[in-house]
Structures are given as structure tokens and as C-alpha cells.
Structure 1
Amino acid sequence: MSGLVSLVAGVALGLSLAAPPGPMNALIAQESVHRGWRAGFRAGLGAMTADGCFFVLAYAGVVTFIRHAPTLQTAMKAVGGLLLCYFAYGAAKSAHEGVADTEAGAGFRKTFLAALTNPIQVVWWLTAGIALLDPGTVSAFGYTIAVTNGVLTVLGFFCGILVWITGFPALLRVAGDRVDAFERVVGYGSAAVLCIFGAWFLVDAVPS
């Protein structure tokens, strides 16, 4: 029973990172509605791969180093902001022209690069994510769960992300097949979200 609790806690933790609205889901949505479920799933894998990198970096102690390196954090915010603004332009252009990037790996690369420089993701790993290394309790969606098996918690964490990047693009495709102009609405909406977050990161990178 304790093993199941640890697994479920990990799934909840993964969903708490993957599900909230933000730039990664905007990119996944854009790929899903323009190029289909597989493209959306590949975009999700890009973000998930970045989380795998963050987990390894956390294990190696690099995440803790980032916490005490404000200059590096500022540089990441600036790069992340510029990337998101660039992706916002591409999303708006695709929505306007009704044509998406035809390269199969484009979505994966976009989310992977954006996630690695995403301050929100970095902050998550500096706080809730660091608990994966030696979990005693897991906090997700406002609840705290006691866990006893760290391996199962980590496994559940990545399973939770996998559930989201599988189901979210599928729901978007179903909606797109039933609603006229859904593709264009999502395209412009994704561009707006990316632009807002990109501008926020850039402003946050400016020294006060």
C-alpha cells in the first residue's frame, strides 16, 4: 500500500508541473492543432526530456548551484524570454497563414530549448522538484502526501508527465475536429501566451 501511495504521489507531482497553463502547454497546443497528435506528443516529450535533464542536474547538485547564482538566473530569464517571443511570432504567423512548420522534430526542439531556459520550470526544480532526490513528503495541488519509496515517486513523477503529454494533445485534436476555426483560435492564443510569458521573463531579467 505504501508503494502505491508513493507512486500516486509521484504522478500528482508530475501533473502539478505539466498541467498548469504556461508556455510549454502553449507550444504543445500549437503543435497539436496544426500538425496532429503525434506532433503535440513530440513537443511534450521535449519538455519531459528537459525535466529529465533537470532531475540529473539536481542529483549532481547543479540545481543547488543555480539557486546561488543570480547572474546565471538572469541570463536564463533573458534567453528564455527571447526564445518565447520568437516562438510567439512563429505561432502567430502559422495561425495567420494556416501553415505550420513541416519539420517533424521542430516541436521537440522548441519545447526542449524553451523548458531548459524557462524560469518557471527552474524555480519549480529549485523548490518542489528538489524533493524528488530524497522524498519524505510530496506537495502537489495544495496537498502534502507522505511517501516511503523514492524510486516509485520518481517513476510516478515521469508517468504523470507522460499522462499529460499524451492526453492533452488528444483532447485538443478532438476539439479541433468538432469546432470550426479551432486551429486558428488556439494558434493565436498560443502566440499570446508565449508573448506574455516572454515579455514577463525579459522584464524580470532587467536589474532593478
Structure 2
Amino acid sequence: MIFYYYLLGIILGLSLAGPPGAVNSIIANESLKSKMHGTSVGAGAMSADFTFFLIVYFLRSYINLGILKFIYIIGGLFMLYLGMAVLKSKMPSKSRKGNYFIGLSMGLTNPFQILWWLTAGFFLLKELSILSVAGLFSGIIIWIFTFPYAINRFGYKYEKYIKYISAFIIFIFAFYILYNGIILLV
């Protein structure tokens, strides 16, 4: 049964980290520079997941949902900035250290990541073993090393398209997040 919970967590971690979205768009764009640039962004986003895990684990009954509307607006504006940086082929930082903080700040302001932890994260902690959480982070680690490797290895032929698609995905998420933040303010 222990292995079952851990394996279930890995599958859940891959499903959380794998879908196209703003973070994976930045990972793909940075992976064109080097595998470590992309992995650094992913590590930052995973650190945000770990932060949310701790918050959900220790403060489950005290989270004020009214704060989410401001996180939506901040996150949406930040993603607009990142989308423009991708289109201009200039990321806010050239170092892996800076990429880590990009991933961390995206993760901390990403309403989808926050909502995932407030919903599926609660379920994970309540209904499954804590080993499933270890599996979840193992799945994320698998993703943040394999995805940048694949993009770096095979993406050079498609660099221009990866940049345009990455920016497009970021803009979609940015506008969607801003729209939801504005709706919550009204």
C-alpha cells in the first residue's frame, strides 16, 4: 500500500507539472539557453508548491480567500510582463539564480497553483497518505529535469515557434487571471 500511495503521488505530480501553462512556457523558453536555465525556473515553481503545501498543511482552516483577488491581479500583471519579455527574447535575468526567482514568483502568484493546493492539495492531505505528497514532489522533480532536457535537445529547430507559442500561452493565462481578479473586486 505504501508503494501505491507513492506511485499515485508521482502520477499526480506529473499531471500538476506537465500541462501547458505559463510556468512551462518560461521553462521552455529558458531551456533553449540551457537545461539548467529551464530547470531553475521549474525548481522555483516547485518551491512555491512546497510553500503552498506547508500553508495548506499547517493553516488549512485559516486561509482568507479574499486575499486571492489581489494575488490574481499581481500574478496577471507579472505574467503580462513575462510574455512581453519572451517576445523580445530578453528574460528578466540571464542567470540561473534569477530564473529560480522567476519560477518562484510565478508560482507564488499563480492562482491556478494556489487553487490547486486549496482544492486537490487539501484532498491529498486528507484522503491519502503523506507518502503521496512525497510522490507528488518526486513527479515534479522528474518533470523539471526531463522537460528542459527535451526542449534543449530538440527545440533549437523550433526556437522561434517555441518563443511565440510560449508568449501566447502566457498572455492567455495573464488575461484570464486578470479578468478573474477584476471580477472578484467588483
So what's the TM-score if we normalise by structure 2? 0.92
The one of 127, 131, 134 equivalent to 1:135 is 127
Unmatched segments (≥5 aa) in structure 2:
none
Q: Which structure has the highest helix share of the two?
A: 2
Unmatched segments (≥5 aa) in structure 1:
137-149
Q: Would you say the 8 A contact 1:94–1:100 is kept in 2?
A: no
Report matched runs for 1:90-109 at 5 Å: 90-94=85-89, 101-109=93-101
| Residues 1:69 and 2:71 are matched in the alignment | no
Partners of 2:71 and 2:3 in 1: CA distance? 37
Q: Would you say the 8 A contact 1:42–1:105 is kept in 2?
A: yes
Partners of 1:51 and 1:169 in 2: CA distance? 19
Aligned to 2:57: 59
Question: Cα distance, 1:25 vs. partner?
Answer: 0.6
Aligned to 1:192: 168
Partners of 2:58 and 2:140 in 1: CA distance? 22
Report matched runs for 1:169-208 at 5 Å: 169-177=148-156, 179=157, 182-207=158-183, 208=186
Partners of 2:133 and 2:17 in 1: CA distance? 15
Question: Cα distance, 1:65 vs. partner?
Answer: 3.5
Partners of 2:61 and 2:147 in 1: CA distance? 32
| Residues 1:166 and 2:140 are matched in the alignment | no
Q: Would you say the 8 A contact 1:64–1:126 is kept in 2?
A: no
AA in 1 matched with 2:13: G
Q: Would you say the 8 A contact 1:14–1:161 is kept in 2?
A: yes
The one of 45, 48, 51 equivalent to 2:46 is 48
Q: Could you say what the CA RMSD is over the residues aligned between the two structures, in angstroms? A: 1.7
Partners of 2:61 and 2:20 in 1: CA distance? 26
Aligned length: 184
SS of the residue corresponding to residue 94 of structure 1 reads: coil
- Identity among equivalent pairs (%): 34
AA in 2 matched with 1:30: N
1:169 and 1:151, CA in 2 relative to 1: closer, same or farther beyond 3 A? same
AA in 2 matched with 1:57: I
